[in-house]
Every structure is written in structure tokens, then in C-alpha cells.
Structure 1
Amino acid sequence: YQEQVMQIAQELAGYSLGEADLLRRAMGKKIRAEMDKQRERFVSGAMERGVGKPQADFIFDLLAKFADYGFN
């Protein structure tokens, strides 16, 4: 499941592999400050690719909720 989060970040928000790994790590360890930084990066990257801000925020929230459940 972690690979899917990374793939979504890469394809939807233009993350590099290294950036996607930082997102995965922040979600896995539930690091709030890093999650806030990642939200900004994710939303801005998604918006650059034509995704509206509300939808980008919604998708990030879905990923974060999934991380709470899917990451051990």
C-alpha cells in the first residue's frame, strides 16, 4: 500500500521518487509537522497539473486517512 501512496504522489503531484519517499515516511510515522509541509507540496504540485485546490486537499486527506489505517 505504501508504494501506491508514493505512485499517487508522483503521478498526481509531480513528486520525485525521493520526495514521494519522504511523504511515505511522514505518513507512516505520523509526523504532523512534516505532514503539513507535504500537504503544501502535494496540493501545489497537483494544482500545477490541473487539479483544483479543493480536490487536491481532498485527495491528500484520503491518503492521510489511508495511512492511519494502512501503515503499521
Structure 2
Amino acid sequence: MKNKFSEMTTDELIKNQKTLKTVNIIFIVVLAMLFFLNLIIVFLKGFSALNVIPIALLPILFLNLKNLKEMKKELDSRK
């Protein structure tokens, strides 16, 4: 299986890495707020099906972190 990051230029990788870092930071902040607000809602109104949304979004964060790690590895191999 060929790595999709090996087909990119170094400049594209750096640009995508910066973008993904920013997106991850924003996503982590939003996810933390969702968890906190969910705790408040659970204590005030009880559990509902919508309380599962932050947990359902966690795999997206893990995939983004994995891609970021792969980008860093590819950039390090080019130096």
C-alpha cells in the first residue's frame, strides 16, 4: 500500500500539516465544550440520545491525530 503523503511535495505537506494542526486544536476545544455541556445537561435534564454525539465524534479526532503523525514522519524522512 502506497502512502498518500509520499506523493505530496514538501511544501504541500507542510501546508497540510499546519492546517490539520489548527483544525485539531479547534476540534479538541469544541469537543471539550460538548463534553462539559453534556455533563451539565445530563445532571439537569437526564440522559438523551443526543448525549452520545461527543463520543461518536472521537474517532474523527483519532484519525486526524494519526494523519498528523504520519505527515510528521514523512517530513522527518525527507530531511
TM-score for the superposition, normalised by structure 1? 0.39
Please tell me whether Structure 1 or Structure 2 has the larger radius of gyration of its CA atoms: 2
Q: Which of structures 1 and 2 has the larger relative contact order (alpha carbons within 8 angstroms, sep 6+)? A: 2
TM-score for the superposition, normalised by structure 2? 0.36
